[in-house]
Chains A and B, each alone.
Chain A
Amino acid sequence: MALLEVIGLTKRFGDRTVLKGIDFSLEEGDTKVIMGPSGCGKSTLLRCLNRLIEPDGGQILFRSEDVTRADTDVRLLRQRIGFVFQQFALYRHLTALENVTLALRKLKGMSSRDADAKALLELRRMDMEEHRAKYPAQLSGGQKQRVAIARALAMDPAVLFFDEPTSALDPEMSREVVALINRLRYEGVTMLCVTHDVSLARYVTAQVIFMDAGEIRAEDEPERLLSGHHDPRIREFFGNLGHADA
């Protein structure tokens, strides 16, 4: 059964149409990567799916329930979707542990003890337990991203969204995070990942969605998109990234 089904999703900002009828689906346990040039609407799409940005038209079915309806409990929807940001977006005034426990205590109503136990479990999963008492300013970029992933996973989300998770990292840290995302994939975590990072697409995913100018131009296996695709726009894009036999 599709966890997420997007039908004809549109979004305009003023007179600029950013999403022009997006259709795709994401099965439970699946991982998909969305790629495309800057400004093609990838990040807007991700934010429309959890209604951080209100879509103008189309439907988003989350476990068959239309979550674009006006009476949708948007906050509950967001709690079911973990979101990991490019710039980590950790709360600066909280330690790594507190970053993970805040939502558990305030949104899930867990006691401090239970929230700490759950948070430590997730931090351990991300090899970050020993850094639990550190503040974000004391962590490296890769460590911050691990805490951000632990924070998202702690809420037991149905799906994890990543918005350019490796863009702000140096190559070594980027490889670490890619390996981590890959591990989650094998653990069966459903993921949707927006990225420019070809290595992430290659290493992690079974399916890549290629977007351009607010539309999905192709959805295929990474190698087929990366190596001499029949669509010249896709060949050009990956050629510019230096990863296609264009």
Chain B
Amino acid sequence: MIPESVNSSAIWVMPMLELLGFWRDLVAYGPQLVEGLRKTLVLAGSVSVSGLLGGILVFGLTLSQQPAVRRITEAWVSFFIGMPLLVLLFLVYYGLPQWGIRLSPFAVAFWGFTLNVSAYNARYLATAYRSLDAAELEAAHAQGFGASQIFLWIILPQVLRLSVPALTNQVILNLKDSSIAFLIQYTEFFAQVQELAAQNFRFFQAYVLAGLVYLALVSVIVLAARRLEARIILPGLER
């Protein structure tokens, strides 16, 4: 019969050895993970910027004085919100080569995400626009401002302020969703974590690591967004 003290030591020793082994693999595979993290940040960062700029452009078009432009833009937004991002990425990455069009995994991920994120951001801005005081816009017209000046100087500064929480959520989603880009051979952070797990079969540890890294990055975004919100809140309108 094995003494109880030996039995309880084994309970601790085995996981420690496992963890040590995982740590050794992690150090050995570190450069690939760092490279994957860099690619994740590049993709999430670039689509957050392009998605914001695209969202502003699409939102601007939804305010066009031409009914046809408004209708087409609305249809565009609805299409890209309705289309699952993964389907869009597969369509471009695996579907277009059928017609001789081949794009790099990054290009596909960048444009796929940009179209999707622009549509969502345009919706957020449009929602904020509905809360603006119509009298302000009438006053701007009465002062002699043109439509583009009103958009640039009156509407945009206000809807961007009002949309900070929604736009921040979108940046967080961009970061988290960037992990699906590994399905089109973009070797971002999650793809590298998969690779690590496949080599040492320590799936649990690998996915916990991935979760913690994403959580840390999201926390940084949330903190930055809170600071931004505190800076741009208008005096007299604080809650």
Query: A: which residues have CB within 8 A of B?
Result: 50, 52, 75-79, 81, 83, 85, 87-93, 102-103, 106-107, 134-138, 148, 151, 155
B 122-148 to A, binary, CB cutoff 8 A, 1 in contact else 0? 000000000001011011111111100
Q: Which residues of A contact B138 (CB under 8 A)?
A: 52, 85, 89
Question: B143 and A155: CB pair below 8 A?
Answer: yes
- For the complex, what is the distance from the CA of A168 to the CA of B189, rounded to whole Å? 58
Select one of A77, A92, A137 contacting B158, CB under 8 A: A92
- For the complex, what is the distance from the CA of A88 to the CA of B195, rounded to whole Å? 62
Select one of B142, B149, B158, B234 contacting A50, CB under 8 A: B142
Question: A103 and B145: CB pair below 8 A?
Answer: yes
Select one of A52, A90, A106 contacting B141, CB under 8 A: A52
Q: Which residues of B contact A77 (CB under 8 A)?
A: 144
- For the complex, what is the distance from the CA of A155 to the CA of B154, rounded to whole Å? 18
Supposing A85-B138, A92-B133, A93-B161 touch, asked if A107 and B235 sit within 8 A by C-beta, the answer is no
11 further A-B contacts with Cβ under 8 Å, apart from A78-B144, A81-B142, are A75-B145, A78-B142, A78-B143, A83-B139, A89-B139, A91-B154, A93-B158, A103-B144, A135-B236, A137-B237, A151-B143
Minimum Cβ distance to chain B for residue A193 (Å): 15
Asked whether any CB of chain A lies closer than 8 Å to the CB of B157, the reply is: yes
Question: B158 and A85: CB pair below 8 A?
Answer: no
Supposing A78-B141, A83-B139, A103-B145 touch, asked if A89 and B234 sit within 8 A by C-beta, the answer is no
Question: B136 and A79: CB pair below 8 A?
Answer: no
Closest 8 CB pairs of A and B: A137-B236, A89-B139, A79-B144, A83-B142, A78-B144, A89-B135, A138-B236, A75-B144
Select one of A89, A91, A103, A136 contacting B236, CB under 8 A: A136
Question: B135 and A87: CB pair below 8 A?
Answer: yes
Asked whether any CB of chain A lies closer than 8 Å to the CB of B207, the reply is: no
Question: A106 and B235: CB pair below 8 A?
Answer: no
Minimum Cβ distance to chain B for residue A160 (Å): 11
Supposing A75-B144, A78-B141 touch, asked if A90 and B236 sit within 8 A by C-beta, the answer is no
Chain B interface, DSSP helix/strand/loop, else mixed: helix
Q: Which residues of A contact B139 (CB under 8 A)?
A: 83, 85, 89-91, 148
Q: Which residues of A contact B144 (CB under 8 A)?
A: 75-79, 103, 107, 155
Question: A106 and B158: CB pair below 8 A?
Answer: no
Question: A89 and B235: CB pair below 8 A?
Answer: no
Question: B135 and A85: CB pair below 8 A?
Answer: yes
Minimum Cβ distance to chain B for residue A4 (Å): 16
- For the complex, what is the distance from the CA of A134 to the CA of B140, rounded to whole Å? 20
Q: Which residues of B contact A52 (CB under 8 A)?
A: 138, 141-142
Q: Which residues of A contact B145 (CB under 8 A)?
A: 75, 103, 106-107
- For the complex, what is the distance from the CA of A144 to the CA of B235, rounded to whole Å? 15
- For the complex, what is the distance from the CA of A114 to the CA of B234, rounded to whole Å? 26
